[in-house]
Structure 1
Amino acid sequence: MRVTDSQFTTMMTRSMMNSNVEINRVAEQIATGNKINSLSDDPSGSMKLLSLDKTISSAEQYSSNISNVQSKYSEYETYLMSVNELALDVHDLLLQANNATVGEESSGGIIAELESLRQQALDTFNKKSDGIYIFSGTDVYSEAIIVDDSTDPVSYSFGGNADHRNTKISEDGSMNSNFTAQETLQGSLDFFTTLDAAIAELKNPTADKNAILGAAIDSTDATQKSVLNTVTILGANYNSLDRMAVNNADAALYAETVKTDINALDYAEASVRLTASMNTLQASQSVFAKVMTSSSLFDLM
């Protein structure tokens, strides 16, 4: 088959372009240390790297989610332990008030302390964080405990709801990120109603004093146990999150290791390819230059 000057020129130009492309590709590999810098370098390997990047990104997001949930748990633990301490103080004061030897002056001090502790407990369950009520379930713009002081005695009711907000912490797992007043108090507001009754009894003692204060003590003890039970659940969840954080870190590390294995450049091999491509380009340029300075291909034969 006869090769014309124009055909030969096209062939040589294409050869030099291919050599330039290969030189640029190898140079980029050497500069980045990566064997794959674009899809065309290795389509199959590129897809594997994309999948590994997704695994790493997901693991990092899950780790961030875990950190956020644990931060919220720490906040809940602080408030719940505060309620626990309040309940202990209420218990001690009620026992003291139930002592027949307590005088009128001491009784007045106890009443003031009990009223203060009751309000602190209400304030704690109606705490806000970043503008939302943290013990109100998913109904975060409603108070967790609603007080109606238009009645006598004052009435209490749960606001919000008992629903949990779930946060994804792994590919196939999630964890509730909130605790509610309803679950913490086991659906009962007896702590507040019996405490109010005890305070009212201390202000105006009757023959039922022992029974009324005894009921308040029992309710306070039950509330403390319920709060501590919630703290126990919180602690168990926190430990589970710790373990899941380790798993996510391991998954990310494994993916990074596989990425390195797939994408790590063999510098010696790349250097050989670069030298070969440069030699090919130089040879092509030399031949092309001779052709361009000759009258025809036949002058080179």
Structure 2
Amino acid sequence: MRVTQNMLSNNMLRNISNSYETMGKYQEQLSTGKKLTKPSDDPVSAVKGMSYRAQLTEIEQYERNMNEVHTWTENTDAALDETTGALQRLRELAVQASNGTYEEGQLKNIGAEVSQLKDHLEDLANTEVNGKYLFNGSDTKNQPVDTGATPSKYPNNTDEVRIEVSKGIKVDVNVKGESIFSEKLFDDLDKFINNLNGTGTGNMEESIADLDGHINNTVNERADLGARMNRIEFIEQRLDTQKVAATDMLSENEDAELEEVITKLKTQESIHRAALSVGSRVIQPTLVDFLK
């Protein structure tokens, strides 16, 4: 086959164009820090990248769910802590009033404090965070306790509030108000107050026993909540591990190794300069040069 000057020139121009394209690819990788700028660069890696991103998006959503979980559990735990303190103070007052040395006026003063603690327990039962009542099951828009209403209102929704914290894993974040702020609790407090005011038919020993039962219920519910909070911490740690792993896989799949890219770019620049040098010699001779 006869090789002409035109063929040499075309081959040279094509190779130089390819060299520019290669250098452009390396320069783009350096400027973006990514090996892939479009799916056609590596279809298989592009599909993997979509999968890794979907996994990261899912994990980030679970992390946002975790924030909601912490809001529920931490505020519930704080409310139960105050509830336990109030009930213990009520028991102290019951023990104090049972020694038989207090006069009628002193007992009424104790009754006034008990009334205030009763109101405080009602406030705790109606703990509201971000527009949601914590102790009324899934009916989070309506307050669970209103002793001033006719008839009085107490927690009656026992549905669980469940939040998904990992794929296929949902945890209960609420404590059933019925088990702590029940109608019996407020009835027992009213009986206690009536006894202190001299209008009741019971005795202080009964009030102490009632309060012991309510304290035990609260402690048990708080212990159960604490166990769930411990489990939530383990799940959160696993999410952190999964996020790091997915991020590393995505980085390995798409991020450019800058040292390697710089080396390739320098090598390609040397090749390109050599190609230009050779090309200048190929296209330099003309018919006039041969006629001289």
TM range (shorter): 0.7 to 0.9
2:263 to 256, 268, 271: 271
**Equivalences for 1:232-271 in 2 at 5 Å?**
232-262=223-253, 263-265=255-257, 267-268=259-260, 271=263
Q: CA deviation at 1:271?
A: 3.0
Aligned to 2:257, the other structure's residue is in SS state coil
| Closer/same/farther in 2, CA of residues 165 and 142 from structure 1, 3 Å limit | same
Partner of 1:111 in structure 2? 111
In structure 2, the residue corresponding to 1:209 is in which secondary structure? Answer: coil
- The answer on whether the counterparts of 1:20 and 1:281 sit within 8 Å (CA) in structure 2 is no
Partners of 1:15 and 1:274 in 2: how far apart?
Answer: 17
CA distance in 2, matches of 1:243, 1:218: 38
TM-score when normalising by structure 1: 0.79
Alignment of 1:110-149 (within 5 A): 110-149=110-149
Moved more, 1-10 or 224-233: 1-10
* Residue in 2 that maps onto 1:181: 177
Distance 1:176 1:17, change over 3 A: farther
* Conserved? CA contact 1:136–1:162, under 8 Å: yes
In structure 1, the residue matched to 2:202 is 209
Q: CA offsets per residue over residues 107-139 of structure 1, 9 Å max, x none?
A: 111110111111110111012222332222221
Shift of 1:33: 3.8
Q: Which amino acid aligns with 1:204?
A: G
Match of 1:196 among 187, 190, 208: 190
Shift of 1:217: 2.7
| Contact 2:135–2:155 (Cα < 8 Å) also in 1 | no
In the other structure, the counterpart of 1:91 is: 91
Give the 3-state SS of the residue equivalent to 1:271 in structure 2: helix
What runs of 5+ residues in structure 2 fail to find an aligned partner? none
CA distance in 1, matches of 2:38, 2:128: 50
1:30-41 correspondence runs (5 A): 30-41=30-41
Does residue 223 of the first structure (1) align with residue 214 of the second (2)? yes
Q: CA deviation at 1:2?
A: 9.6
Which is further off, 158-167 or 259-268?
Answer: 259-268
Deviation of 1:60 after TM superposition, in Å, equals 3.2
CA contact (8 A) 1:90 1:114 kept: yes
138-147 vs 91-100, which moves further = 91-100
Alignment match, 2:153: 157
Residues 126 and 135 of structure 1 are in contact (CA less than 8 Å); yes or no, is this contact kept in structure 2?
Answer: yes
The count of residues paired between Structure 1 and Structure 2 equals 288
Deviation, 1:237, is 1.3
CA-CA distance at 1:84 after TM superposition: 0.7
Q: How far apart are 1:11 and its partner, in Å? A: 7.2
1:136 touches 1:159 (CA, 8 Å); kept in 2? yes
Deviation at 1:269, TM superposition (A): 6.3
For each residue in 1:95-115, what CA deviation from the matched residue of structure 2 results, as whole angstroms up to 9, or x when unmatched?
A: 333333321121111110111
Three-state SS of the structure 1 residue aligned to 2:163 is: strand
For 1:170-217, what per-residue CA distance to the aligned partner results, in whole angstroms no more than 9, with x for missing partners? 1221222332312444xx4211112112222332346x332xx44433
Alignment-derived partner of residue 172 in structure 1: 168
CA distance in 2, matches of 1:281, 1:182: 82
d(CA) in 1 for partners of 2:224, 2:183: 21
- Give me the whole-angstrom Cα distance separating, in 2, the residues matched to 1:93 and 1:268: 77
Distance 2:90 2:67 in 1: 35
Q: Runs of 5+ in structure 1 lacking a partner?
A: none
User: How far apart, in 2, do the equivalents of 1:89 and 1:269 lie?
Assistant: 71
Rounded to whole Å, the distance in 2 between the matches of 1:159 and 1:76 is 15
The amino acid that maps onto 2:264 is V
Deviation at 1:278, TM superposition (A): 6.8
Identity percentage of aligned residues = 22
Judging changes above 3 Å, is the alpha-carbon distance between structure 1 residues 272 and 128 closer, same or farther for their aligned structure 2 residues? closer
Alignment RMSD: 3.4
Q: Quote the offset at 1:286 in angstroms.
A: 6.9
Q: How far has the Cα of 1:80 moved from its partner?
A: 0.6
Alignment-mate amino acid for residue 118 of structure 1: K
